[in-house]
Amino acid sequence: MLRRVLAFIAGLITFAVIVTLVQLISGLIFGMPSPDTVGNSEKMARFVAAMSVGGFVGLLISYIVGSFVAGFAMRAISRSDSLILPSIIGLIGTIGWAYNTMQISHPTWVTILGYLCYVPFASLGYRAAAGVSRGSTTV
């Protein structure tokens, strides 16, 4: 049980770090909001409305990579075959995305794809770690 709790905490931290790093890289490429924009919902809505397709793709990639790596880390730590951990972290991400899209309007395609990032990719990362932990190799 302790392993699962630690795995969950590590998964949350891993998700947050990876999403932040990927969004920082994406922001350096496609532009990022100024510090005064982040704290102002009206300015943030204008920033998002003006984002390029590349900026949105970077946003979605951050959620995909963050979910996958979080799932991978959770499986490596928990050593459990149960998909409960990646499902929970995926659900948390999905709820966060729902809240985000209610606060700031995103293009429809981004909103829909955003909902598909969390649970599936956390589960894929979790399953990928299971293959690695078994020592499976393909030659």
Asked if residue 111 belongs to a domain, the reply is yes
Query: Which residues have CB under 8 Å from 41's CB, separation 6+?
Result: 103, 104
Q: Which domain holds residue 128?
A: 2-133
- CA distances 139 to 75, 107, 136, Å, are 24, 43, 10
| For residue 107, pLDDT beyond 90 | yes
Question: Comparing C-alpha atoms, which of 27, 21, 17 is closest to residue 48?
Answer: 27
SS3 58: helix
Asked if residue 138 belongs to a domain, the reply is no
Answer whether 110's CB lies under 8 Å from 59's CB.
yes
- Cα(51)–Cα(127) distance, integer angstroms: 34
The pLDDT tens digits for 18-77 are: 999 999 999 999 999 888 988 888 899 899 999 999 999 999 999 999 999 999 999 999
Domain count, the chain: 1
Q: Print the SS3 string covering 10-57.
A: HHHHHHHHHHHHHHHHHHHHHCCCCHHHHCCHHHHHHHHHCCCHHHHH
Asked if residue 31 belongs to a domain, the reply is yes
Q: What is the pLDDT of residue 136?
A: 53
Q: What is the mean pLDDT of the chain?
A: 92
| For residue 99, pLDDT beyond 60 | yes
Report the amino acid identity of residue 26: S
